[in-house]
Amino acid sequence: MSGRAQLMWDEAVTGYDFGPDHPMDPVRLALTRRLVSAFGLDSRLDVVAAQRAGDSTLRLVHREDYIEAVKAVSADPESADGSYGLGTSDDPAFAGMHEVSALIAGQSVGAAEAVWHGDALHAVNFAGGLHHAMPGSASGFCIYNDASLAIARLLELGAERVAYVDVDVHHGDGVQAAFWEDPRVLTISLHEHPRTLFPGTGWPEETGAESAEGSAVNVALPAGIADAGWVRAFHAVVPELLADFRPQVLVTQHGADTHFEDPLAHLAVSLDAQRAVQVACHELAHAYAGGRWVALGGGGYAVVDVVPRSWTHLVGIAAGAPVEPEAEVPEEWLREVFARARVRGPGRMTDGGWPVDWKAWESGYDPADRLDQAVLATRRAVFPLRGMLP
């Protein structure tokens, strides 16, 4: 197995563009790619462009009638009428929608194939992580569910245990739905509580179908939690489950919208805590999955200040060349930011909170604390189903 990492990138993924008034501005992808390059990370990994996912691959997760509907509105955006979730305010139709969505999916599938075949130990597709798309509909800015497709491809190649860890602020509902009945896939989602945020799912009691009880795990976090609580919740749930499940591959989704600057959610997490969890995912892949790690992007709507820095940290960690939090952002990238967005970019690769201080679950919990109540609800719902003590 190669020890080098792969970065999946094709400039055409920036064509995933819902329009000038939509929060998912593709400039976040372009600026991330430029920041990765500005830090010299290109020389520390292989930059690879995979082919667009074909229909047979898309059908591993998505219904054929839905794929045909996407193709139809891709060719004629004016025909979109909201059916199949296409042509809504969240997922407005645009020319070439099918092609670029399938291209992003292809990068995640290519990442999974590279890791499974041993061409790379780690592979990153920060354009991916589009975790809301359902088998038969678009949802939440997501057309094709590249994360589910990557997992489905791993299963097709012979994987018997794949773990998916999603730390986006929104529940990873599409991935959970795709593998609800499949005990070969363990889905773990840490997200803002469904009472206060889209998509309104991801309750602790959602634990998988009868045929796969305990294979879906949801940590519903109270609005307003910050670094110490968020990192504590991750470590209170994820490592024990991965140690029990022993996945052959770890797939992670790193939506940057947990950040306190994100305009669409209500957590108060810093860039430093996001980096701490990225480091933890890397370590967990090595501890329990033989190092095999597929890392994806996701949400994130502070498109200049947060997303590029967060995902550049992710790429650096995967490449074995982590960017130091105190590192200054290269001037060439700041010029690129100003040219594209007419704003001054952030000066350093930290929000000033590194290292992140958090309290381990093993040291005790407070049953009156809102965060600890959330963690307890998850552990009590899932751990006994897996033969583990809550």
| Residues belonging to the active site | 132
Length of the chain: 390
Kindly provide the residue ranges of all beta strands, DSSP E only, lying in the chain, ordered along the sequence: 5-8, 45-48, 122-125, 162-166, 185-192, 216-221, 249-253, 293-296
Residues 386, 241: contact at Cβ < 8 Å? Answer: yes
Residues 98, 105: contact at Cβ < 8 Å? Answer: no
Residue 62 structure tokens: 């998505």
In the sheet that 162-166 helps form, which strands lie side by side, from edge to edge? 45-48, 5-8, 122-125, 293-296, 249-253, 162-166, 185-192, 216-221
Three-state SS letters, 325-345: CCCECCHHHHHHHHHHHCCCC
Query: What whole-number distance in Å separates Cα of residue 378 and Cα of residue 82?
Result: 35
In terms of Cβ atoms closer than 10 Å to its own Cβ (0-12, 13-18, 19+), residue 253 is: buried
Query: What whole-number distance in Å separates Cα of residue 306 and Cα of residue 327?
Result: 15
Residues 272, 325: contact at Cβ < 8 Å? Answer: yes
Query: What whole-number distance in Å separates Cα of residue 50 and Cα of residue 143?
Result: 18
Q: Which of 172, 142, 149 is nearest to 16 (CA)?
A: 142
Query: What whole-number distance in Å separates Cα of residue 214 and Cα of residue 296?
Result: 24
Residues 254, 130: contact at Cβ < 8 Å? Answer: no
Query: What whole-number distance in Å separates Cα of residue 173 and Cα of residue 228?
Result: 25
Query: What whole-number distance in Å separates Cα of residue 267 and Cα of residue 244?
Result: 29
CA atoms within 13 A on the CB side of 281: 31
